[in-house]
């Protein structure tokens, strides 16, 4: 039948003698048989629809990237320490994050694991996060542009907002890259880069409860004065220069802690408790957007 190798799950092992007899009975050339260990749940049970997501479509619908899924399955079946010396490595350190080309190059029968592999959701999340980050860091516009287009379809910065440049969207994606478990997380995590924060939300109100109105106003007024002095260009509104400015805000008021400065600014500028560092956030937003938000919070 032109079949040289038969690779199948270990549950077929008991049927192999019968299949060999059939090949011999028909006088067919006998292929090489290899039986692969199964993927199992954390409790050791076999994967099934009753135990959760098992189909590729299930994971794609949840936002996992195809290459990350392939990488995940490849690692579960591969004895990673034995794969190609030049593949999946950074310097002398083996990395689990591999491209399709690296996976193909690293594959051989010899590196297939001999033990059952347990599905690890945290591992899949990590790989997906790393694949997204690596793509966003690419210097190839052809690789980055699809991500920008996807972001525009999710965030309030679509084709109807030409004032929002691709370069700005890309800067936002780079700032959020380490926080995206799946790419659709960008909708909640980065929305404030494109719309004014909702300071009436429960999250924003919670941020304000430990900062008095007087202290909040003092911090914002000092920040406005210092940040407005920075040049609005590539050399002036950098993360390092902004960080220096924020330190100056604290230094001008000895009774104010750095934590209070950051919480007040994060509230005014983002309305969210969690996000990139404030210096990076302000660098991405730029001078105009930052000062507009501080001004709005002071009203």
In the chain, domain spans? 1-36, 38-130, 137-193, 202-298
Residue 254 pLDDT: 85
Q: Cβ(68)–Cβ(127) under 8 Å?
A: yes
Domain 38-130 belongs in CATH node 1.10.1160.10: yes
Residue 255 pLDDT: 85
Query: HSE on the CB side for 91, CA within 13 Å?
Result: 1
Residue pointed to by tokens 């409790």: 43
Could you give the CA distance from residue 82 to residue 50 in angstroms, rounded to a whole number? 34
Residue 44 pLDDT: 81
Given 2.10.60.10, 1.10.10.350, 1.10.3470.10, 3.40.50.10320, which CATH number is that of 202-298? 1.10.10.350
Residue 86 pLDDT: 46
Residues of the chain whose pLDDT is less than 50?
A: 83-87, 90-93
Q: Where are the beta strands (DSSP E) in the chain?
A: 5-9, 32-36, 39-40, 89-90, 93-94, 117-118
């Amino acid at each position: 039948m032109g079949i040289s190798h038969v690779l199948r799950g270990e549950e077929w092992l008991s049927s192999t003698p019968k299949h060999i007899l059939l090949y011999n009975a028909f006088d067919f050339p006998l292929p090489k048989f290899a039986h692969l260990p199964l993927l199992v749940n954390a409790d050791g049970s076999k994967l099934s629809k009753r135990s959760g997501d098992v189909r590729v479509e299930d994971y794609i619908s949840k936002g996992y990237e195809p290459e990350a899924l392939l990488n995940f399955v490849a690692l579960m079946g591969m004895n990673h320490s034995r794969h190609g010396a030049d593949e999946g490595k950074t310097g002398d350190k083996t990395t689990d994050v591999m491209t399709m080309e690296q996976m193909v190059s690293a594959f051989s029968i010899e590196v297939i694991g001999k033990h059952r592999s347990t599905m690890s959701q945290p591992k899949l999340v990590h790989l997906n996060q790393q694949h997204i980050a690596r793509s966003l860091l690419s210097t190839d516009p052809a690789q980055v542009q699809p991500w920008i287009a996807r972001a525009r379809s999710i965030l309030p910065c679509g084709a109807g907002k030409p004032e929002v440049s691709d370069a700005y969207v890309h800067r936002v994606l780079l700032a959020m890259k380490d926080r995206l478990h799946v790419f659709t997380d960008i909708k909640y995590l980065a929305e404030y880069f494109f719309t004014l924060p909702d300071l009436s939300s429960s999250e924003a109100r919670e941020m304000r409860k430990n900062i008095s109105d007087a202290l909040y106003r003092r911090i914002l007024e000092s920040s406005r004065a210092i940040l407005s002095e920075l040049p609005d260009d590539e050399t002036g509104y950098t993360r390092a220069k902004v960080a220096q400015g924020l330190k100056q805000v604290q230094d001008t008021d000895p009774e104010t802690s750095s934590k209070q400065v950051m919480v007040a600014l994060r509230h005014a500028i983002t309305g969210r408790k969690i996000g990139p560092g404030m210096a990076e956030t302000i660098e991405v937003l730029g001078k105009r957007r930052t000062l507009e938000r501080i001004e709005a919070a002071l009203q």
